[in-house]
Structure 1
């Protein structure tokens, strides 16, 4: 996925799809329904609104400051692309073969501490804005930094819009999760989750290939 060569619209679509695959609101829907069992529709909406707000804030923070943190630690974007691709591939495997990624296991998150706001934990962190989401944002941000200043500004703006659009979409998918589950059934959700896992796995491999090719170019200039 050589996103640096994409038009602004293509980059927006690529970023939106990538983030939606990583956040996986369809896969989270059964967990959200379980976590909010007994809540009224307005209460669920309020919980989701807080969760999405926190997730969006975390994501935008890493979009703005993430590359500076990497630079401070001496980590090249190519090295991060390789490690990030491996992490995303590890996230995709449980989606394909059943279950969730280690950072998104329902059994670890269904019960919080007394008085703990489930909108913050586990919904916002680590389920919505977990390591996979942060990694994807940083990788996409690195690909939007090529070209002249106008190109960079347009692609950075497209990435911000893609992040916002992905979380708004996740909000509505989760809010209507119970009805979606009744419509397509648990089996349908499993099938869709596996398809999304395959797509995420392909995206992860492409991130690794981009990192390797970028590192090779740095070494050889070819």
Structure 2
């Protein structure tokens, strides 16, 4: 149960459902309510497919090109840490992705499904948390359910986006994003340390 909660918190931090709110609001500003629901469902379905692909095949792809998972874990931890720093000290997820939208890419696929929901950090988490050498299939299935649970929360958040956004505003979304950034920085540091330990124990 503790492993499931850890996986859930990790995915919640890297996917950041609340941080996706301003992106969704901007993307769907000119759409009718039924179109907003369709966009929300499509973006989550696409993101789920992408993350399940990395969860199932990510490690095999790495092994095919000769990259040990421990090396990928260290590199990914460093990238996640830098990403977390931008969430804490930088513009934050909402401003960054709204900026992308303002360049004219207003679709459910980009930037909603990728990189807002299926972010690089989420793809990394899907690979690292399902290491076939450390975890059995039961654990990996549990990790998959934790990821899908977070994606379910994303769908609920998007379907109720207008109400939630009126309640917390852009400032509230930024606060949540920065708190998630702090959690993500801690998780990233742990991944680097575990990757180094695993590499030298081989």
TM-score (norm 1): 0.84
Instruction: After superposition, give the CA deviation of every residue in 1:120-150 in whole Å (9 maximum; x if it has no partner).
Output: 11211122112111111111011x6436xxx
User: For 1:99, what is the secondary structure of its paired residue?
Assistant: coil
Tell me what 1:35 maps to: 27
Gaps of 5+ in 2: none
2:124 is equivalent to residue 140 of structure 1: no
Question: Which structure has the bigger radius of gyration?
Answer: 1
C-alpha distance 55-18 of structure 1, shift in aligned 2 (>3 A): same
Tell me what 1:21 maps to: 13
Tell me what 1:99 maps to: 91
Q: Is the 2:73–2:191 contact (alpha carbons within 8 Å) kept by the matching residues of 1?
A: yes
User: For 2:31, what is the secondary structure of its paired residue?
Assistant: coil
In the alignment, which of 80, 101, 108 is matched to residue 119 of structure 1?
108
- Counterpart CA distance in 1 for 2:126 and 2:182 is 19
User: For 1:119, what is the secondary structure of its paired residue?
Assistant: coil
Gaps of 5+ in 1: 1-8
In the alignment, which of 181, 187, 196 is matched to residue 197 of structure 1?
181
Runs of 4+ in structure 1 over 3 Å off = 109-113
- Counterpart CA distance in 1 for 2:116 and 2:98 is 9
- Counterpart CA distance in 1 for 2:158 and 2:4 is 22
2:162 is equivalent to residue 170 of structure 1: no
User: For 2:92, what is the secondary structure of its paired residue?
Assistant: coil
Query: RMSD value over aligned CA atoms?
Result: 1.7
User: For 1:16, what is the secondary structure of its paired residue?
Assistant: helix
Structure 2 matches for 1:39-188, cutoff 5 A? 39-100=31-92, 105-112=97-104, 118-142=107-131, 145-146=133-134, 152-188=136-172
Q: Is the 2:25–2:162 contact (alpha carbons within 8 Å) kept by the matching residues of 1?
A: yes
How many residue pairs are counted as aligned between the two chains?
Answer: 200
Instruction: After superposition, give the CA deviation of every residue in 1:4-52 in whole Å (9 maximum; x if it has no partner).
Output: xxxxx22221111111111112112112101100322221111011111
Q: Is the 1:30–1:178 contact (alpha carbons within 8 Å) kept by the matching residues of 2?
A: no
